[in-house]
Amino acid sequence: MNTSFISFLKFLLVTLLISNISGKLGVSDINYTVYDLSNPIKRFSDIESKLFYDKHDQESFSFFEKKSATTSLNFLNIEYSHRDVCDGHIDSSKPNFYYFLPTTLAILKKEGDSLEYSNKCFRRNTATLEILSKKELTIKIVSNDANNLFCQDDYWFSTSNIHRIESIFFKGEHYIKFRNLSQDDLDEISATGFRLFGFCDGFFTFLNSFFMSLKLFVGGLGKDPSAILPILRPSVPEDMERANLEFLNQFANFRPESRGQIGKNILEIDEKEIKTGDFIAIYRLDGLDPLIMYGTGSHLGHSAVACWIDGELYVLESQDGWYWPKKGIQRNIWKTWIQWAHNADFSVAILPLREEIRQKLDIDKAFNWFTSGIEGLPYGYHNFLYGWLDTPKDNFPDFFTSELILSVFSILEKVSRATSDQIMSEALNLRINTQGLTLPKLIAESARRGMSFGELLAMTEVEGLEYHDGKSYVCSSFVIAFWKAGGLFGDLNINATEFTPRDAYQMNFFDLDYKDKRPQACKDADPDLPYCQIIGRYQITLDGYSTIDPYDHMFERCSSTPPNYIRQPNC
């Protein structure tokens, strides 16, 4: 599990929990502590909030008086029509994984923009941008048809600098006002829009959903298998395992099968069965791997490659799990690696290259590439998102839309610029040949060049980009780059940094006749698998295994929307 990603997720969970509690209690003025990028110790208290009452309809509304701003022009080009805010939820009355996250209700860009939607309490709502000027921005919300007398709707109003939680308890007209806007505010709203998010859950359902989601990640936090507290061991606790299996079953349409007693031990096979270049397929039921699987449609969350070096079998990989003894791009002797993997409750299978593919692999070139400055590089956080995000809008699952990503990262950047740069901003700077721009300014610059935020995210992650800490490879892109350096793609133009684990195992490189050639121990343990699974309590089954021939610029423009993850040929 990658530590920066988990830190970011914790930030998101806590922020939304605090926001939701404040809204539920009817607190109108929330004192967020957000850091000004030009002065990291300055609180966001420069934005003053007050509660006022409209003397015509006596409905309450609030506004910001802004004394300073760091927003800039943004651009999304997203259209919305009448929709149910909770239409992606299986049952919004019950807690479920990630249901605490808000969903997009509306984006309002200019005076007169008006959108209808159905919310969890009031089934008929209209949001209208009535006034948009430097002096005042007014949003009018008309709510009708409550589900019951005591329900309420909770909103998050958002731009790059405005993050406001409000609750609506009564039917009728409600006005939300923001005063003293800057020109940057107006430019951003006219291009990106003022974003309205809604929370689908009631307060207690929200809390239950929050802790259900937290359960996906809490466990397997340490490196020592003999730690006194089970949670601090590298192994995955049973409750955590069950939660991740249920998540995959519900949302990724994937239910790994138990291997029974055989899954508790390491399968002993002759190391010589494993050859240089063979793909090592991995997943761990730890919250992050299932999230990767949900987003990309993969049945794996991690990848590695086998390599014989001076008569010893090694595993080469890009790794940063906090349960793992080493960090970054690394090599480890197979016997040591497989024990670490067993301690961490990995499921591991060896996918052997087909013989004609193996003959094409120039082992010396591949290994020279590895030792020529790649080994020792940090894990590839910089392109963690971009092998997955290939299209402006057709890679986002229900819980993680581009609008939500933009709003969350605009907060994160003020709280932790380094984390935001590592996961998103530095990569986007390199894509448009800029340096050091913050996320709002990056979006502004891309807008001036005619690109939406979604289009900016979907730009090809060109392999070989030099980040401040060197080249960047996540696990799957590292394996592809190793194969590429060894000549498996010939003269094709391939960007390894665009490959997910699913892309890697669907390459038509593997021996589909290996099932009957497997060692007897593999046949006995998993009679129906076409490869040998070495460890894991649950089977590794791979959709589309070894079915796609390589082609120029492959996997650079692929959609991956759950639950079917259909993508176009030659994308």
- Is the Cα dihedral 472, 311, 301, 547 positive or negative? positive
Task: Tell me the C-alpha distance between 431 and 77, whole Å.
Answer: 20
pLDDT at residue number 503: 97
Task: Tell me the C-alpha distance between 534 and 349, whole Å.
Answer: 6
- C-alpha distance from residue 239 to each of 116, 282, 284, 287 (Å): 41, 20, 14, 12
Residue partners of 421: CB distance under 8 A and separation at least 6: none
pLDDT at residue number 485: 98
Architecture of domain 231-383+471-535: Alpha-Beta Complex (3.90)
Task: Tell me the C-alpha distance between 180 and 425, whole Å.
Answer: 29
pLDDT at residue number 398: 77
- C-alpha distance from residue 563 to each of 231, 249, 290, 479 (Å): 31, 10, 13, 26
* Residue 347 in tokens: 């499921």
> How high is the mean pLDDT in each 10-residue block of the chain (571 residues)?
50 50 34 25 29 28 28 30 46 77 90 92 94 91 91 89 88 90 76 86 83 93 90 94 95 93 94 97 96 95 97 97 95 98 97 97 97 96 92 85 88 92 94 90 79 88 94 97 97 97 97 96 96 97 96 94 88 92
State which amino acid sits at residue 416. Answer: S
- Parallel, antiparallel or unpaired: strands 532-535 and 136-146: unpaired
Residue partners of 520: CB distance under 8 A and separation at least 6: none
**For residue range 141-170, what is the model confidence (pLDDT) as tens digits?**
999 999 888 888 999 998 877 888 889 999
DSSP annotation of 3 reads: H
Q: Is 163 exposed, middle or buried (0-12, 13-18, 19+ CB in 10 A)?
A: buried
DSSP annotation of 529 reads: -
> What is the separation of C-alpha 31 from the centre of its chain, rounded to a whole number of angstroms?
28
- C-alpha distance from residue 570 to each of 396, 550, 551, 555, 559 (Å): 20, 9, 7, 7, 11
State which amino acid sits at residue 561. Answer: T
pLDDT at residue number 12: 55
The DSSP annotation for 34-93 comes to: --BTTBTT--GGGEEEEEEE-TTT--EEEEEEES--------------S-BTTTTSS-TT
- Is the Cα dihedral 11, 14, 20, 22 positive or negative? negative
170 dihedral zone (left: phi>0; alpha: psi -120 to 50; beta): beta
Name residue, tokens 């480890």. Answer: 332
Task: Tell me the C-alpha distance between 232 and 4, whole Å.
Answer: 18
The residues pairing with 122 across neighbouring beta strands, listed in sequence order, are 146
pTM, entire model: 0.83
In angstroms, what is the C-alpha Rg of the chain? Answer: 25
Q: Are 405 and 102 in contact (CB under 8 A)?
A: no
Q: Are 481 and 462 in contact (CB under 8 A)?
A: no
Closest CA to 318 of 274, 384, 232: 384
Q: Are 191 and 201 in contact (CB under 8 A)?
A: no
pLDDT at residue number 92: 54
DSSP annotation of 516 reads: G
Total residues found in the chain within this entry: 571
Name residue, tokens 């002759």. Answer: 270
DSSP annotation of 463 reads: T
pLDDT at residue number 473: 97
CA atoms within 13 A on the CB side of 414: 22
Q: Are 333 and 317 in contact (CB under 8 A)?
A: no
User: H or E segment at 334?
Assistant: helix 334-343
* Residue 349 in tokens: 């299978």
* Residue 505 in tokens: 């195992």
Closest CA to 542 of 307, 343, 340, 280: 280
Task: Tell me the C-alpha distance between 203 and 185, whole Å.
Answer: 32
Residues carrying CATH 3.90.1720, the chain: 231-383+471-535
Closest CA to 561 of 388, 403, 397, 387: 397
Q: Are 305 and 481 in contact (CB under 8 A)?
A: no
* Residue 282 in tokens: 């991995």
Task: Tell me the C-alpha distance between 96 and 98, whole Å.
Answer: 6
* Residue 155 in tokens: 């909103």
- C-alpha distance from residue 91 to each of 136, 255, 398, 417 (Å): 39, 20, 14, 37
pLDDT at residue number 151: 87
Q: Are 160 and 194 in contact (CB under 8 A)?
A: no
Per-residue HEC secondary structure of 225-262 comes to CCCCCHHHCCCCCHHHHHHHHHHHHHHCCCCCCECHHH
Q: Tell me if residue 478 falls in helix, strand or coil.
A: helix
User: H or E segment at 365?
Assistant: helix 363-369
